[in-house]
Structure 1
Amino acid sequence: MAKRRILAGGIAQESHSFNPVRTGRSWFTIRAGAEAVETARGSNSVLGGIVDAAAENDIEVIVPVMFRAQSGGPVEDTVFAEMRDRMCDAARRGDFDAIVLPLHGGMLTPSLEDPEGALMMALRHIVGPEMPLTAGFDLHAHVTPEILAHCNLLAGYLTNPHGDQGNTGRRAFLAALDMLEGRLQPALAAVHLPMLTLGNDRTDEDPLLSLHARARAAVEAGVACDVSIFNAQQFLDVHGLGQWVLAYGNGTAPNDLALELAQTLWARRRELIGSYPALDEYLDRAAHGMERPLILGDQGDRVAGGSPGDGTYVLRALLARDSLPPSAIPIADVRAVQACQAAGQGATVTLTVGGRYSTVSPPVTVTGEVVSVGNSAQVVYDGPADAGYRTTLGDYAVLRVGKVHLILTDQPYSYLDPGYFRAMGVDPARMGIVITRSGYHFTLNYAAIGECVTVDTPGMTSYRVAELPFTKARPFFPLDEMDFTPRLHVVGGVSP
């Protein structure tokens, strides 16, 4: 019997509808073939989980191409088209038994609200209705009816902050394998809720903690074979924005379970609106001395949420306080990087940085010493989130302004892992304050270094969504009060 093979690959990026900066090809880490497989092997990523589970089952993984980028503005249409065409060309060549896609699920292009659904539809058109097609998504994905119509089983992360990327890929792979071997006939019960979670949506805290515990118990009891609760990315102005509960049974859809979970989620929707402490509160603490570094998530300018990463609100606060310990703060500003590189290491320069796209705080003029410059630095994630993932930085410079280490890059990064700072010669463990462009995902990977806190700051990714010009996505809670009763979604035109 010939060795089984699966087709994997695609594109993973989370988009922000209101970020004017398009995500271009140069912002992606692009791998294909054996390099993509070997780089993923053993990593806590969705593709890593697929690769490792396939190896355990003596199945070969084919990766025509894998595009992966930081969150940001919508992805250029040409980038998506290149990926889609490479995946579809491989699908036409055949010689594989199933498709397992490691995607994000929250991506946009200027012309597509649902590029992941478009990819699945294109692949399904080529391979036909019988071939197993599964996928692993971030739990912040924008799930659509088109995705559900073409995907046999969609597995979402079960943790936020995310620590189970690899296991999500494993779930998607094992579902495809079980379908191939006749052990599984996925039957979906799906419920959509027109609501957002805003600030109180960690899965290790209630209300989501108990909701996920109920879903897990149902899977362990055999009521369902897989359950995902999707809490959509909050900055997508797309039709049908909201939460999804997906519960898969084997042959019979677990309708009662999906409705129960969705009804609980809707009933507790107000508990999902949270708040964060003020920046000044934690800067006051740092000024009086702390045993461990203070790792702050800049809520208003979260590249992890799709912001441009050039906000100056926190930078201004750091520069205004002489009593603070040494700090590190990133700013995405290509012109500032170029100026530092032109001046060279050791030079003293005066620059105006940031505030070009994140306009809640104006640009800042600073004078400092160029500590280092470089490009193509290699980042390896410590983890546990995405442990072992490798990526390459673009051009960068480190400018020391008093006790502030200003990390300048030619494109935005989320700094989800300490490896970003270390790659540019800055050890976050030796700083008193470290600023990340993340809301809470950074907390897993920095926990061993310091105290991790998300602070309330203004900006494009703050949870003050009433300040954003939503048009397509409304109505949704909490911007709109509505009389709504959760109902089972009709999948593929057939009522569950």
Structure 2
Amino acid sequence: MAKRRILAGGIAQESHSFNPVPTGRSWFNIRAGREAVEGARGSNSVLGGIVDAAEASGAEVIVPVLFRAQSGGPVEEAVFADARDILCDAARRGDFDAIVLPLHGGMLTPSLEDPEGALMAALRAIVGDDVPMTAGFDLHAHVTPEILARCDLLAGYLTNPHADQGSTGRRATRAALDMLEGRLRPALAAVHLPMLTLGHDRTDEEPLLSLHRRAREAVERGAAHDVSIFNAQQFLDVRGLGQWVLAYGNGTPPDDVALELARTLWDRRRELIGTYPSLEEQLDRAARGTPRPLVLGDQGDRVAGGSPGDGTHVLRALLARGDLPASAVPVVDAEAVRACLAAGPGREVTLTVGGRFSRVAPPTEVTGVVVAAGTSAEVVYDGPADAGYRAALGAHAVLRAGKVHVVLTDQPYSYLDPGYFRAMGVDPAQLGIVVTRSGYHFTLNYAAIGECVTVDTPGMTSYRVAELPFTVARPFFPLDDIEVTPRLHARGSGVP
């Protein structure tokens, strides 16, 4: 038998409907061909899982292109069209047996609420219904009926914070290979719930801990072939926003599994609204001294949640106190980076930074010494989340104002891994306070460095969603007091 070939690639980004800064081409890491395959092999990424599972089965992976960016505003139309067209051109050339897509699932463009569904529709129009097509999505994806109608099996991350990107890719790949060998005929039972989880949605804590355990047990005892529970990104003003429970059987939809999990999720919805300690409380702790560095997640200005990353709320709090240990805080400001590059390391400058898009706190004047500046750098993730993943860093500078290291970049980064700071010459392990643009995803990769704490800060990605101008997505819990009886949206067996 000839070696099986799998077509993989696409475009992966998580969008924020209320972020006015579009995500352009320069914000993406773009890989293709052998470089993409070799760079992914062995990494804890969805593409890494696809490559590893395929090669373990003697199959080959073809990657025409993979665009990957951090969260932000909607993706420019031309960027999405470019990635779609490259993948579709490869699909027209044929010479592959299945498609496995390493996507995020929460992307927007100015005209599309569901770009992933549009991509899958374009691919189906080319390859027809008989070619297996599966995908690996982030747990925070915006799943739609259009996606479910075209994707034979959609595998979502099972952990939050995310540690199973690679195994998600392997699940999706094994499903496609099993379909090719006639061992699997995916049959879907799906339930949608118009609700959001708001900050209390870690899968290693209740209530999701036991829900995922029950889903896992259903798979282990053979009641379902694969189960994913999607907790939608909270800042998408799109139709059908909410949670999805997807349970796949082999030939027969596992209706009872999907319904039981969805009913429990809805019944425990109020437990999914979390609370966080204040920034001031954590700064007071740092001032008294802590055994390990405090790594703070600025949840109000989370690039990991799609914010612009130029908020100054935490920066102003750090600058206002003289009793704190050395710290690092990131701020996006391309103009300030250019000024630091022009001045050069060792020079003192006075700059006004941040606050142009994140309006909770105003632009802030900072006087300090440029200690590092560059036009590019490479970040290598320590992991465990995305371990081994390589990302390109654009123009950057570090401005030291007293004990505060203001880490300036020309593009937003979430700092999910300590490698971002190290790439700019800052060792987070040697500081007393490290600020990340993340709510809790950072906790896995910083656990070896310090104590990770998410703080309650205001901003575009605060879990106070009542402050955001939702229109299209409503009604949904908790903004609306609605009654829901979970019901099946079952597709059954095969592609319709």
Alignment TM-score, normalising by the size of structure 2: 0.99
Counterpart for residue 341 of structure 1: 341
SS of corresponding position for 2:295: strand
Offset at residue 495 of structure 1 (A): 13
In structure 2, distance between residues paired with 1:77 and 1:261: 37
Q: CA RMSD in A?
A: 1.2
Show the 5 A alignment for 1:314-333: 314-333=314-333
1:104 maps to 104
- 8 Å Cα contact 1:382/1:388 also seen in 2: yes
Q: Tell me the amino acid that sits aligned with residue 417 of structure 2.
A: D
Structure 1 residue 84 corresponds to structure 2 residue 84: yes
Report the secondary structure of 1:188's partner residue: strand
1:474 match: 474
Give matches, 1:174-189, under 5 Å.
Answer: 174-189=174-189
TM-aligned CA deviation for residue 491 of structure 1: 3.1
What amino acid maps onto 1:71 in structure 2? Answer: S
CA distance in 1 between partners of 2:493 and 2:114 (Å): 19
Regions of 4+ moved over 2 Å = 490-496
Match of 1:203 in 2: 203
> What is the match of residue 448 of structure 2?
448
> How many residue pairs get matched?
496
Secondary structure of 1:367's partner?
Answer: strand
Query: For residue 424 of structure 1, what is the amino acid of its counterpart?
Result: M
SS for the counterpart of 1:52 is helix
1:472 match: secondary structure: coil
**How far apart, in 2, do the equivalents of 1:492 and 1:301 lie?**
41
SS in 1 for 2:67: strand
Q: CA deviation at 1:494?
A: 11
SS at match of 1:473: coil
| SS of equivalent to 1:386 | coil
Q: Structure 1: which amino acid aligns with 2:237?
A: D
Per the alignment, residue 219 of structure 1 pairs with 219
Q: Partner letter of residue 444 of structure 1? A: L
Q: Deviations 1:422-459 (Å, cap 9, x if unpaired)?
A: 00000000010000000000000000000000000000
1:68 partner amino acid? R
* Aligned equivalents of 1:493, 1:461: Cα separation in 2: 39
| 2:365 counterpart residue number | 365
Output the CA distance in 2 between the equivalents of 1:493 and 1:467: 42
Does the Cα contact within 8 Å between 1:200 and 1:271 map onto a contact in 2? yes
Give the aligned residue type for 2:478.
P
Letter in 1 for 2:45: S
Match of 1:352?
A: 352
- 1:59 and 1:376 map into 2 onto residues whose CA distance is 36
What stretches of structure 1 of length at least 5 have no aligned partner? none
| One-letter code aligned to 1:169 | G
What's the offset of the Cα at 1:291?
1.3
- C-alpha contact 1:187 1:253 (8 A) present in aligned 2: yes
- Name the aligned partner's letter for residue 84 of structure 2: R
Equivalences for 1:90-239 in 2 at 5 Å? 90-239=90-239
Q: Distance in 1 between matches of 2:455 and 2:17?
A: 23
Deviations 1:252-278 (A, max 9, x none): 000011000000000000000111000
* Counterpart for residue 286 of structure 2: 286
Partner residue in 2 for 1:75? 75
Matched to 1:95, the amino acid is: D
Say whether the 8 Å CA contact 2:6–2:99 is kept in structure 1: yes
Gap runs ≥5 in structure 2 = none
SS at match of 2:29: strand
Structure 2 SS opposite 1:266: helix
- Please report how far the alpha carbon of residue 490 of structure 1 lies from its aligned counterpart in structure 2 after TM superposition: 4.6
Quote the residue 2:304 is aligned against: 304
Indicate if the aligned counterparts of 2:49 and 2:169 stay in contact, CA closer than 8 A.
yes
SS at 1:282 equivalent: helix
- Say yes or no: does 1:385 pair with 2:385: yes
Task: Determine if contact 1:307/1:460 at 8 Å carries over to the other structure.
Answer: yes
Letter in 2 for 1:489: H
User: Quick one: distance in 2 between partners of 1:355 and 1:471?
Assistant: 26
Tell me, yes or no, if the aligned pair for 2:187 and 2:492 is still in contact at 8 Å: no
Distance in 2 between the 1:173 and 1:376 partners? 34
Superposition deviation, residue 484 in structure 1:
1.1
Render the CA deviation track for 1:54-73: whole Å, top value 9, x for unaligned: 11111000000000001000
Report deviation, 1:167.
0.2
Residues 422 and 428, structure 1, Cα contact 8 Å, conserved in 2: yes
User: Secondary structure of 2:189's match?
Assistant: strand
* Alpha-carbon contact 2:229-2:245 (below 8 Å) kept: yes
Offset at 1:345? Answer: 1.0
TM-score for both structures, normalised by structure 1: 0.99
Instruction: Tell me which amino acid in the other structure corresponds to 1:172.
Output: A
1:485 partner letter: T
Amino acid at match of 1:419: G
**C-alpha separation between the residues in 1 aligned to 2:383 and 2:33?**
25
**What is the CA distance between 1:376 and its match in structure 2?**
1.7
Q: Is the 8 A contact 1:193 1:243 kept in 2?
A: yes
Counterpart contact for 2:252–2:493, Cα < 8 Å = no
Indicate how the Cα distance of structure 1 residues 455 and 463 shifts in structure 2: closer, same or farther if over 3 A, else same: same
SS of 2:2's equivalent?
A: coil
1: CA distance between counterparts of 2:60 and 2:493? 34
Confirm or deny: 8 A CA contact 1:489 1:495 kept in the other structure: no
Letter in 1 for 2:370: V
User: 2 CA distance for matches of 1:392 and 1:108?
Assistant: 23
| Residues 342/77 of structure 1: CA separation in 2 closer, same or farther (3 Å cut) | same
